[in-house]
Structure 1
Amino acid sequence: MSERTMELSGSEVEGLLRALVAVPSVNPRDGAGPGEAAVAGVVRDWLAARGVAVELHEALPGRPNVVATVPGRSPDALLLESHLDTVEVDGMSVDPYAGEVRDGRLYGRGACDAKGSLAAFMLAAAELAAGPPPPCTVLLAAVVDEEHRYRGVLALLNALAGTRIAGAVVGEPTGLVPATAHKGVLRYTVRTLGRAGHTSRPADAVNAISLMARVLAHLDATAPGVPDHPLLGPATRCVTRIGGGTGPNIVPGSCEVDIDRRTLPGEDPYAVWLADREELAAVLPGRVELDAPFTVDHALDTPAGSAVVRALRAALAARDRDSTVRGMPFCTDASKIARAGVPSVVFGPGSIVDAHSADESVALADVRLAADVVADLARRMDVA
């Protein structure tokens, strides 16, 4: 393994991350909006200027993934994947695109989730391209649509079909610890069926909101009946939206809520939905219905002995950083990559507490350290 280390200046890290944050890339969520194309161009041009082979692959109309390649001694690949899109900027207390730096932290939408990770991966790729070939080929992918329907990573996996990928690092804010597990999510709508009537004669009607109160009480009192995961803790179930009623003088005939159910490794989301449907229907027989899930994402559980996890932990330990594998409560593209047969670990600068927040930010020193660790990981990657 080469002992070469990165010598990044603070201005280089700051300049790259500010350039990424300065370009709006709010996920349009299938509506109107510029999407990620402009920031994809920034990523492509920055990498190409540093001698990294890079292409744009259209994942959705007008919304390209960026795929860059650093050839290695082996054609087997290490995939570095993060996303281009951000959530909305409404309600932010800082300028979402200024990239203001205060006390060593850069502020703006996407600084933490996940342009900080993307910047670290880009810096690492440029460093690897400038030095001796790493043991394996390094693929850097910056994808669209992670914040909505994760079609970017699915398009990436289709594009890479046939490529031998030994492992993947997915860039998300983990506080610079290796996350080998994360929860999945299942979201669905529950509806109570009453009978509408005039509010002057409520006894002649069946109030669907009152029925829903019984369903909510059951949900509050009943946890999902699965054992805790050693890295993730319990499965959870949370009500996120409620709606019902059509007028101030009408007893509501229907009421609905959305449920966010966080699943654990080993749980099949559709089996969970079927079990929840049976459970909630039993609370009020004939008065409850569940719509099919509108969001389904699987959990992640990568063995700690996987080559990519071992290499990441060794790179962290070499810098006296905590290399203990952890679990994360949020979902990432890693679960899709893992389901395609690629051992995957989540890693990046920043905290999930800062992601999507009104004053989103990331420490520039952590971005620089993440770049150093990822470059070292690539040099340590065992593809034998």
Structure 2
Amino acid sequence: MIEGVREKVRELSEEIVSLCRDLVRINTVNPYSGDPEPGGELEGQRFLEPILRDLGAETRTFQPPEGIYSKMGVLGPEDRVFKDRPNLVGVWDFGEGPTLVINGHMDTVAVSGMTVPPFSAEVRDGKIWGRGTSDCKGGLTVGLMAVRAVLESGIKLRGRIVYESVVDEESNGSGAGTLACIYEGYKGDEAIVVDGNDLAITTGCGGCLTADLEVEGREAHSASGLGVSAIEKALVVKRGIDAFSEERRKEHPDAVVNLGIFRSGVHPAVVPGRAYLSLNIVYKVEEAEEAEKKGFGWGGRPIMRKFEELVRRAEAEDPWLAEHPSSITWVKDLLPYRTDPEEPLVRGLADAFGEVLGREPVVREIPAWGDAAYLARLGGMPTVMFGPGKGDKCHAPDEYVEIEDLLTATEVLAVYIARRLST
């Protein structure tokens, strides 16, 4: 039975590569990426839907509803627009039995500054090159083609497969597409997120807070002597950020604080009147657990409080900022998660990996966040991330996926599906 599934994957190898390349050729850059010509996810979903239908899936498209973050009790970016940005879900129902959710995202980050043609899907040196190859169109390909291989192998199945191609994972998207799937009732007994890297089985991820700060100065001609430089005052605020970062580094060395944007000024002859800073704060599962025990709920609220305390302490030492403190806006709190490595899902996927590759897989947690956290925490499903992406090439200017990894991940996932859902 299993050998037939593996042989089917090998038969489909050229079509696996072709599907990935077809997806990469479609511009599905997230509209909030900052790219001058984002394509959005719609055309990618339109391309995939007939393929799902041809394989016998019942398909549905739907946009995340307005206010999806608040509806799901999650802190996420406000005023996100989802018009013409549908999720695509395909369901195969084989009768009584377990439900397996396979989830991946259609949107990509921006293509500006890439050193390879972003939509060429060029095949060279055993790799497919272009935006989304590793994050996450290679994964979407793996999920779909693994299902196809199992279906075409002829084995009798039970339960259900739910295939989700979701929107708005990237670019501060905060997982709106996956949240909408959970909100619409798409849940299962377990979930595999194909937005995985390096063929590792990822059983957890860190949380991530994003804060935006605006610092007020007084704009004036530089020769007037009347201005108060927002840049200089922002540097005072940054001392508070640095104090917070140093405290975090001592307590949690792997929990990164990254000041990613520092913007101010319009002209050398004008004293800048405003400065804008934006940063990410990574935090660990253990911190969310501790927050929950203390009544803050699962997430990063105590970290937010500490950040504000140290920034205000730095501002209090400056007469201008004592009267004109910065505004701090918390944009998002992406929840961390952890699945027990002894869960049958993890052990079963590891067994499938061993059968295909003849060795034990890497089983790990990662600091970076992914949609898997919502499936686990809010969907109540044991969840792992597993896919063909190259961890150091996601979002990179020379993004690619190894064809061998693409085929291997498809074979591993197909073996797992066959074992899990066969009668």
Shorter-chain TM-score above 0.5 = yes
Q: Structure 1 323/73 Cα, relative in aligned 2: closer, same or farther at 3 Å? A: farther
The equivalent position to 1:152 in structure 2, one of 160, 172, 177, is: 177
Give the corresponding residue for 2:14: 11
Structure 1 residue 175 displacement after superposition = 0.3
Q: Whole-Å Cα distance in 1 between the matches of residues 325 and 103 of structure 2? A: 42
Structure 1 residue 310 displacement after superposition = 1.8
Question: Are 1:36 and 2:41 an aligned pair?
Answer: yes
Give the corresponding residue for 1:53: 57
Q: Whole-Å Cα distance in 1 between the matches of residues 113 and 2 of structure 2? A: 47
Give the corresponding residue for 1:260: 280
The equivalent position to 1:185 in structure 2, one of 200, 204, 208, is: 208
Question: Are 1:311 and 2:348 an aligned pair?
Answer: yes
The answer to whether the 8 Å contact 2:61/2:87 transfers is: yes
Structure 1 residue 236 displacement after superposition = 1.5
The equivalent position to 1:76 in structure 2, one of 98, 114, 122, is: 98
Give the corresponding residue for 2:384: 345
Give the corresponding residue for 1:86: 108
The Cα RMSD (Å) is: 2.7
Give the secondary-structure state (helix, strand or coil) at the position aligned to 1:223. Answer: helix
Structure 1 residue 333 displacement after superposition = 0.8
The answer to whether the 8 Å contact 1:281/1:288 transfers is: yes
Structure 1 residue 198 displacement after superposition = 5.5
The structure with more strand, counted as a fraction of residues: 1
Give the secondary-structure state (helix, strand or coil) at the position aligned to 1:106. Answer: strand
Q: Structure 1 308/107 Cα, relative in aligned 2: closer, same or farther at 3 Å? A: same
Contiguous gaps of at least 5 residues in structure 1: none
Amino acid at match of 2:19: L
**Alignment of structure 1 residues 357-376 onto 2, 5 Å:** 357-376=396-415
The answer to whether the 8 Å contact 1:277/1:290 transfers is: no
CA-to-aligned-CA distance 1:279-324 (integer Å, 9 cap, x gap): 1111121253242212331112221122222211221222224423
The answer to whether the 8 Å contact 1:334/1:344 transfers is: yes
Q: Structure 1 158/235 Cα, relative in aligned 2: closer, same or farther at 3 Å? A: same
Give the total of aligned pairs: 376
CA-to-aligned-CA distance 1:208-231 (integer Å, 9 cap, x gap): 3223223334434543548877xx
The equivalent position to 1:283 in structure 2, one of 294, 301, 314, is: 314
Q: Whole-Å Cα distance in 1 between the matches of residues 221 and 130 of structure 2? A: 51
CA-to-aligned-CA distance 1:29-65 (integer Å, 9 cap, x gap): 399864222221221222333x331413222432222
Deviates more, 1:373-382 or 1:169-178: 373-382
Amino acid at match of 1:153: T
Structure 1 residue 278 displacement after superposition = 1.3
The answer to whether the 8 Å contact 1:70/1:125 transfers is: no
Structure 1 residue 373 displacement after superposition = 0.8
Give the secondary-structure state (helix, strand or coil) at the position aligned to 1:296. Answer: strand
Q: Whole-Å Cα distance in 1 between the matches of residues 222 and 250 of structure 2? A: 46
Give the secondary-structure state (helix, strand or coil) at the position aligned to 1:23. Answer: coil
Q: Whole-Å Cα distance in 1 between the matches of residues 38 and 260 of structure 2? A: 26
The structure with more helix, counted as a fraction of residues: 2
Question: Are 1:377 and 2:399 an aligned pair?
Answer: no
CA-to-aligned-CA distance 1:95-151 (integer Å, 9 cap, x gap): 222221111101111111101011111111112222323454221111112114222
Question: Are 1:298 and 2:318 an aligned pair?
Answer: no
Deviates more, 1:87-96 or 1:24-33: 24-33
In the superposition, the TM-score normalised over structure 1's length comes to 0.88
Contiguous gaps of at least 5 residues in structure 2: 64-81, 289-298, 317-321
